[in-house]
Amino acid sequence: RPCEEIYVVGEGETLHSISDKCGDPYILEQNPHVHDPDDVFPGLVIRITPPRPQLN
């Protein structure tokens, strides 16, 4: 299930785990309000760039 463009951080999640889950390698660049990628907390709202579908 793809992630929504606006994502609310859940308990125990990190930017790295959300990036893996949502397929967004640019998650830190999309969220300049997050100064420390290790300092995210439940309820924090971040922006996700959904992956584009692959063309065959």
**pLDDT 10s digits, 6-56:** 999 999 999 999 999 999 999 999 999 998 888 899 999 999 987 666 676
Report, in angstroms and rounded to the nearest whole number, the Rg of the chain calculated over CA atoms: 11
Cβ atoms of 32 and 46 within 8 Å: the answer is no
Whether the per-residue pLDDT at 1 is higher than 90: the answer is no
Structural domain includes residue 9: yes
Structural domain includes residue 12: yes
CA–CA separation, 33 and 46 (whole Å): 9
The reported pLDDT for the residue numbered 15 is 93
Global confidence as pTM: 0.81
Domain range enclosing 44:
1-50
Domain count along the chain: 1
The reported pLDDT for the residue numbered 8 is 96
Structural domain includes residue 56: no
The CATH number of residue 42's host domain is 3.10.350.10
The reported pLDDT for the residue numbered 49 is 87
Structural domain includes residue 55: no
